[in-house]
Amino acid sequence: MKKNHNKPLEASRFAYDGLDRVIHERARLSVLTSLISHSKGQHFGELKQLCGLTDGNLNRHLTVLEDAKLIVISKGVEHNRPQTTCRITPLGRKRYIEYLAVLEQVILDASSAVHARDPLATRSG
Amino acid sequence: MKKNHNKPLEASRFAYDGLDRVIHERARLSVLTSLISHSKGQHFGELKQLCGLTDGNLNRHLTVLEDAKLIVISKGVEHNRPQTTCRITPLGRKRYIEYLAVLEQVILDASSAVHARDPLATRSG
> What is the tens place of the pLDDT at every residue in B51-98?
999 999 999 999 999 999 999 999 999 889 999 999 999 999 999 999
Higher-confidence residue of A71 and B13: namely A71
- Is A123–B11 a contact, with Cβ atoms under 8 angstroms apart? no
- B114 pLDDT band, cuts 50/70/90, is confident
Task: Return d(Cα A116, Cα A110) in angstroms, integer.
Answer: 10
What's the pLDDT at A83? 93
What's the pLDDT at B78? 85
Q: State how beta strands B42-43 and A81-88 pair.
A: unpaired
> What is the separation, in whole angstroms, between the first and last Cα of chain B?
29
- From the list B15, B104, B123, the residue facing A42 with the nearest CB is B123
Contact in structure between A88 and A100 (CB atoms under 8 Å): no
Task: Return d(Cα A43, Cα B9) in angstroms, integer.
Answer: 13
What's the pLDDT at A74? 96
Mean pLDDT calculated for residue range B105-115: 87
pTM above 0.90, yes or no: no
Q: State how beta strands B42-43 and B71-78 pair.
A: unpaired
Using an 8 Å CB-CB cutoff, list chain B residues near A56. Answer: none
- A114 pLDDT band, cuts 50/70/90, is confident
Using an 8 Å CB-CB cutoff, list chain B residues near A61. Answer: none
Find all residues with CB under 8 Å of B88, minimum gap 6, and list them. B32, B35, B36, B39, B70, B71, B96
Buried b (16+ CB within 10 A) or exposed e, A94-107: ebbeebbebbeebb
User: Is the four-CA dihedral B18, B33, B94, A107 of positive or negative sign?
Assistant: positive
CA B14 vs CA B38, B74, B103, B110: distances in Å: 32, 39, 12, 10
- Tell me which residue of A114, A58, A22, A40 sits closest to B96, measured CA to CA: A114
Question: Is ipTM strictly over 0.85?
Answer: no
What's the pLDDT at A116? 66
Contact in structure between B38 and A123 (CB atoms under 8 Å): yes
Q: Is the pLDDT of residue B20 over 70?
A: yes
B21-58: pLDDT as tens digits: 999 999 999 999 999 999 889 999 999 999 999 999 99
- Return the percentage of chain A with pLDDT > 90, whole number: 71
Give Cα B78 to chain centroid, integer Å: 30
Q: Is the pLDDT of residue B107 over 50?
A: yes
Which chain B residue has the Cα nearest residue A13?
B50
